[in-house]
Amino acid sequence: MENIENSERRWAELCGECAACKKCGLGETKNKSVFGKGSHTAKIMFVGEAPGESEDKEGLPFVGRAGKLLDLFMSYVDLGPDNVYITNILKCRPPKNRDPEPSEQDLCIEYLRLQTKLLDPKIIVCLGRIAAMRIIKPDFRITAEHGIWSAKGDTHMTAVYHPSALLRDPSKKADALADFKEVRKKALELGIL
């Protein structure tokens, strides 16, 4: 019980540190920092690039149109809030939803590292090209490499199309659903579902 209390205390401390962060200019322009949502004991972690407008208002990741689509895909493969933790590389919204700059990623990545250390996920799913380039490999090509698995230690990683990309190009939804089915299959193979 003490370990659980210590872990929850550390999650709360880290979230508070993030909320007060002013390491880059995004900390000055945010409405709310967007730390993460989901189970602190989940073994599946979804990582996007940065919050959007809806997320900046609510302080939670993936709550806008893209988030609704992500929820739909997860429900298709029976991944609920108890099974996953969802976050982004950046914890503050870039202006006009532009791509995160490398310097912003560098300043914010430590929060993601600490979240990953606390969570100790067995599966990391990168949502889109930018997250995959930061987490899997710098030259990741989402169109050619989505759904392909790699591993670092005992953590299995893959990337899927970002839900906002699917909103712009619905023809990729079938590929995305196939990738989500593979995430569930991998989770079953690893015994975490």
Using alpha carbons only, give the angle 35, 112, 65 rounded to the nearest 5 degrees.
50
For a pLDDT cut of 70, what percent of the chain falls above it?
99
Write out pLDDT tens, residues 141-163.
Answer: 999 999 999 999 999 999 999 99
163 touches 129 (CB < 8 A): no
pLDDT band at residue 102 under the 50/70/90 scheme: very high
Position 1 scores a pLDDT of 57
pLDDT by residue (tens digit) across 168-180? 999 999 999 999 9
Token pair listed for 22: 């002013």
Q: Which two tokens stand for residue 53?
A: 């407008």
Query: H helices within 59-162, ranges in order?
Result: 65-76, 102-119, 129-135, 142-145
Q: List all residues 6 or more positions away from 61 whose beta carbon is below 8 Å from its beta carbon.
A: 34, 36, 37, 48, 51, 55, 67, 86, 87, 88
pTM for this entry: 0.96
Set out the domains of the chain in order of their start, with CATH numbers: 2-189 (3.40.470.10)
Please determine, for residue 61, whether its predicted confidence score (pLDDT) is greater than 70.
yes
Alpha helices in the chain (DSSP H): 2-19, 26-29, 53-58, 65-76, 102-119, 129-135, 142-145, 163-168, 173-189
**For the ranges 2-6, 77-81, 146-150, the one whose mean pLDDT is highest:** 146-150
